[in-house]
Chain A
């Protein structure tokens, strides 16, 4: 009897110390594109869900998650983002699967550098302010690099891929396209000897990436360092 009672007490003990555990798991991806003219676009994806159990966690079962996108690109950059700089995405219970995509565009001119603030977060009514992500400032600029077709070409299917190395008349190390970049065109077009690479340079923190949009050229030209 006493052992059974002891066993019963252990059972009660176990039930009181059973824990609820929620495991939010969200992912985000920010990428950039350029139309080759004047428009640069950021694409932000945020998605995920929460696994686990609300067991014993007060307020958990009624809490909601909301995806929000930071959206400042072009215009007057506000270093102190306000609520107006957030865009609300999908929302649901904490166990819902949320998937949201946001795009933000701006006009950019050669020689201009614009600052942007793009990213995504998940806001939880249970926890209040999010703790998942913070966003560094992003700097976007257009960079020109003239190139010469020193690397030949390769035809794959209906596409010809031409390899270029910098051909800078002002003898600088270009910001983009160094040591080389690849231009693609229909296979029936030969590679031009010279190319003007119009690059979109996106700098985040200490790293950057260049996106190339090319036009034919007649010789070397000035490159942007």
Chain B
């Protein structure tokens, strides 16, 4: 009886092995993508994402051209901030831009090394560090801006969510 059961179990396992092999050989890989459009669902754009995209859009490099600086000024004029708050924002953006560029460069270098060694890059770790940097930048602004400046800044970010989209896909074997 036990032998029969084990035989049946083994047959089942072998069948699964064959079918799995078949699936690996012929299965089509279909990505499942979810796109959240802030125009339709601004409430589903996370605050951290909105702040990050804004920081990136208005950040300029340390060696920015006159045109880049003028464009940044145009963009920031939409926040209707007092001069003091605007200077705080500019300084914080400059700090963010440098740290963000370093984070990306360091991570991408590690990706090259990891792939050459046949190991998986730590992309989850990268995303955690990114979120930590964004949060630190937000915290800096909250502690440095005036109350009116913070109100202007926060309300502006919320309104900009309608111009943002996030896409998340899953591609499985």
Known contacts A49-B126, A204-B39: A21-B172 contact under CB 8 Å: yes
Structural contact, A97 and B126, CB atoms closer than 8 A: yes
Q: Mark A41-60, 1 if CB is under 8 A from B, else 0.
A: 10101011111111111000
A78 at the interface (CB under 8 A from B): no
> What's the Cα separation between A100 and B14 when bound, in Å?
49
Closest chain B CB from A168 CB (angstroms): 23
Classify the interface of chain B: helix, strand, loop or mixed. Answer: helix
What number of residue pairs across chains A and B have CB atoms under 8 A from each other? 174
Closest chain B CB from A26 CB (angstroms): 5
Structural contact, B74 and A33, CB atoms closer than 8 A: yes
A13 at the interface (CB under 8 A from B): yes
Q: What chain B residues lie within 8 Å of A2 (beta carbons)?
A: 3, 6
Structural contact, A47 and B56, CB atoms closer than 8 A: yes
Q: What chain A residues lie within 8 Å of B149 (beta carbons)?
A: 156
Q: What chain A residues lie within 8 Å of B104 (beta carbons)?
A: 97, 99
The residues in B between 116 and 159 inclusive whose CB is less than 8 angstroms from any CB of A are 120-121, 123-124, 126-127, 130, 146, 148-149
Structural contact, A27 and B20, CB atoms closer than 8 A: no
> What's the Cα separation between A26 and B16 when bound, in Å?
36
Q: Mark B34-56, 1 if CB is under 8 A from A, else 0.
A: 01000100000000010011101
Known contacts A33-B71, A157-B84: A27-B173 contact under CB 8 Å: no
A158 at the interface (CB under 8 A from B): yes
For chain A, the count of residues having a C-beta within 8 Å of the partner chain is: 64
Q: Mark A113-126, 1 if CB is under 8 A from B, else 0.
A: 00000000010000
Closest chain A CB from B31 CB (angstroms): 6
B69 at the interface (CB under 8 A from A): no
Q: What chain B residues lie within 8 Å of A92 (beta carbons)?
A: 108, 111
Structural contact, A50 and B123, CB atoms closer than 8 A: yes
> What's the Cα separation between A178 and B56 when bound, in Å?
31
Q: What chain A residues lie within 8 Å of B83 (beta carbons)?
A: 157-159
Closest chain B CB from A5 CB (angstroms): 8
Task: Give the one of B24, B71, B81, B169 with max A CB within 10 A.
Answer: B169
Extra A-B contacts (17), CB below 8 Å, given A22-B169, A49-B126: A2-B6, A10-B13, A23-B168, A24-B168, A27-B166, A31-B160, A33-B74, A33-B75, A41-B71, A51-B124, A51-B127, A55-B173, A56-B24, A99-B104, A101-B56, A132-B169, A133-B167
